[in-house]
Amino acid sequence: MTETLKQVSPQEPLDYLRRILLAPIYDLAVETELTACNKLSSRLNNHIYLKREDQQPVHSFKLRGAYNKLNSLTEEQCIHGVIAASAGNHAQGLALAAKKLGINATIVMPKTTPDIKVDNVRRFGGEVRLVGNSFNEAQAASIEYAKAENKTLVHPFDDVEVIIGQGTVAKELLQQLPQADVVFIPVGGGGLLAGMAVYLKQLNPRTRIIGVEAEDSACLKAALEAGEPVDLTQVGLFADGVAVKRIGENTFGLIQEFCDEVITVSTDEICASIKDIFEETRVIAEPAGALSLAGLQKYCLTSKGGESLAAILSGANMNFHTLRYVSERCELGEKKEAILAVTIPEEKGSFKRFCQSIGNRAITEFNYRYSGKPSAEIFVGVRLGGSVEERQELLQGLESANYQVRDFTDNELAKLHVRYMIGGKTPNSAKNTNSVGEKDERLFSFEFPEHPGALEKFLAAMGEYWNITLFHYRNHGAAFGQVLAGFDLEKSQQNEFFQHLDDLGYQWQEETDNLAYQTFLN
């Protein structure tokens, strides 16, 4: 095994700088390219670059930190092997690094992990143990295995040697683009941001460092607001590579000192950036891999222009089946589709007149069902050129033509479920009472890790106790499932019902007052 610097936690930024410069990773990791994005640069009026960590042997930057960590271990620490919990890139990086150094590696992965990632870890020589249905369950198991089997635990981000390894991305970037004005770095647990920021800010203080988080997994933003790391109640599952409930302790201290700003982005904005990366490079980035470019594009909306901006394409281990979801959502992220509810007369020729009213624009979706009433609610998608102003022009034009219009472009319930469910309302929709003994439909959305039997578990837990009046389920690439469900509830049952939801352990939100539900389904 390679002998390197002692495993001593750096106490000063200069110590991090020195050890990043000396990190012995390049007999396995590679120096990745910096790709100029000409189409994006022209569109965004800035000089845009992508740091291509998809070019690593495991298609992710995680190899850097894992290999640097293993290089720092003593022979005694390696006798019984190393262990880590991971559902993706850290697992593959650690497995390949351990194979290179002749160390036995055990990776504890949730049962929900896609087969492609499990197979890759095994291909790189790692032992896989499938435990639990979430990362937290796998992590708890890895800690117990480490104690029982005397294995060395390798944390995916909150480890000094891992942070140093990730910092080598900044070393390369500064050589490739010394004039960078702003660098955008994705944030999960903070290892990449901490390592890059501590290096860049010491050698080029004028470069702004901006961390980018998914809106539904913004653990750094929560920590900055609280002044210390805190646990998020729940995290979104789409960008699984950054789905972390709590920022690291070591990483947070460095980020506080060296990071200038944090930006959060939506799922739609991430999907739009996946498309942009593909069009520039023909690489399909994973959601976490496209996160920093989404932040860069959001920054450009208000920037002065003419700056040199770099984003880290941190990984490209995309589950193929997720592409369907990305394709659906990317046009919304680019502001190229409007989702509208429009009231039209229930008479011949109404649809034709409506099409004439939207002008020279393509209809991407049209949902309608005859209800026997004088007017009908239609759910329609309209392709736009990409500007907010055009959407407003469309709305104003329809209103001038005497249509009643509701804009659902930013309504998550409409985008995820309602667009697939136009077809009728509940028989008792006119009733809206909550007196004892009378039932009323209440609507809830749920999100949960996908695994064999997950939907069955949901139905068994909810359907056996309360009457389900509406149900729509979507699977997004075997990573997570989303359900919209209506329930007949008596007022006397509500406390018991909400307690049952909490015990079930799924992420949920009540949607009864959502305008999309009230318009089309209730």
**Active-site hit among 62, 69, 151, 415:** 62
C-alpha closest to that of 268 among 297, 246, 245 = 297
Asked, for residue 513, whether it belongs to a domain, the answer is: yes
Give the residue-averaged pLDDT of 209-222: 95
431 catalytic residue (yes or no):
no
Q: What is the CATH number of the domain that holds 351?
A: 3.40.1020.10
Torsion of CA 144, 25, 255, 201, to 10 degrees: 170
Q: Which of 331, 362, 397 is the last residue of a domain?
A: 331
For residue 451, CA distances in Å to 122, 323, 377, 503 come to 20, 19, 37, 19
Q: How far apart are CA 379 and CA 420, in angstroms?
A: 10
Query: How do 507-510 and 439-449 pair as beta strands?
Result: antiparallel
The model's pLDDT over 5-24, given as tens digits with 9 standing for 90+, comes to: 334 456 688 899 999 999 99
Q: Is residue 417 part of a domain?
A: no
Give, rounded to a whole angstrom, the gap between the first and last alpha carbons of the chain.
Answer: 66
* Residues 492 and 510 reside in one and the same domain: yes
Burial class for 323, CB neighbours closer than 10 Å (0-12, 13-18, 19+): middle
* Options 314, 335, 415, 439, the catalytic residue: 314
Calculate mean pLDDT across residues 382-399.
Answer: 83
- Measuring CA to CA, which residue among 162, 84, 156 is closest to residue 127? 84
Residues 237 and 363 in one domain: no
CA 267 to CA 272: how far, in whole Å? 9
pLDDT at 239 over 90: no
Whether residue 327 is found in the same domain as residue 339: no
Cα 65 from chain centroid? 22
Is 430 in a helix, a strand, or coil? coil
Does residue 428 surpass a pLDDT of 80? no
456 domain residue, yes or no: yes
More confident residue, 307 or 459: 307
Give pLDDT, residue 138: 85
Task: Give the whole-angstrom CA distance, residue 497 versus residue 488.
Answer: 11
Pick the more confident residue, 84 or 483: 84
The encoded tokens of residue 407 equal 């804009």
Q: What residue numbers bound the domain in which 384 lies?
A: 335-410
pLDDT of residue 8: 47
pLDDT at 424: 55
Q: Looking at the 3D structure of the chain, how many domains does it have?
A: 3
- What is the overall mean pLDDT for the chain? 86
278 with 346, same domain?
no
288 within domain boundaries: yes
Reduce the DSSP state of residue 288 to 3 states and report it.
Answer: helix
Do 232 and 320 reside in the same domain of the chain?
Answer: yes
* Residue that is last in its domain, among 298, 331, 364: 331
Looking at the fold, whether 193 and 262 belong to one and the same domain comes out as yes
* 100 belongs to the catalytic site: no
Same domain, yes or no, for 344 and 327?
no
pLDDT at position 227 over 60: yes
Quick one: average pLDDT of 478-499?
80
Q: Last residue of some domain: 274, 309, 331? A: 331
Q: Is residue 104 part of a domain?
A: no
Same structural domain, 264 and 383: no
Residues 278, 352 within the same domain: no
Say whether both 210 and 296 belong to one domain.
yes
DSSP string, 221-266: HHHHHHTS----S---SSSGGG--SS--HHHHHHHHHH--EEEEE-
Are residues 461 and 319 located together in one domain of the fold? no
Q: Would residue 70 count as lying in a domain? A: no
What is the four-CA torsion angle of 366, 372, 376, 381, rounded to 10 degrees? -10
Tens-digit pLDDT profile for residues 325-365: 788 777 666 667 888 989 888 887 787 888 888 888 888 88
Q: Which residue has the higher pLDDT, 433 or 66?
A: 66
What distance in Å separates the CA atoms of residue 230 and residue 158, rounded to the nearest whole number?
Answer: 14
Q: Tell me which residue of 124, 122, 100 sits closest to 113, measured CA to CA.
A: 122
Please give the pLDDT value at position 148. Answer: 96
Mean pLDDT along residues 292-297:
97
For residue 52, the SS3 value is: strand
Task: Say whether both 209 and 252 belong to one domain.
Answer: yes
pLDDT tens by residue, 72-117: 999 999 999 999 998 789 999 999 999 999 999 999 988 777 677 7
Inside any domain, residue 64: no
**SS3 assignment, position 487:** strand
Q: Is residue 395 part of a domain?
A: yes
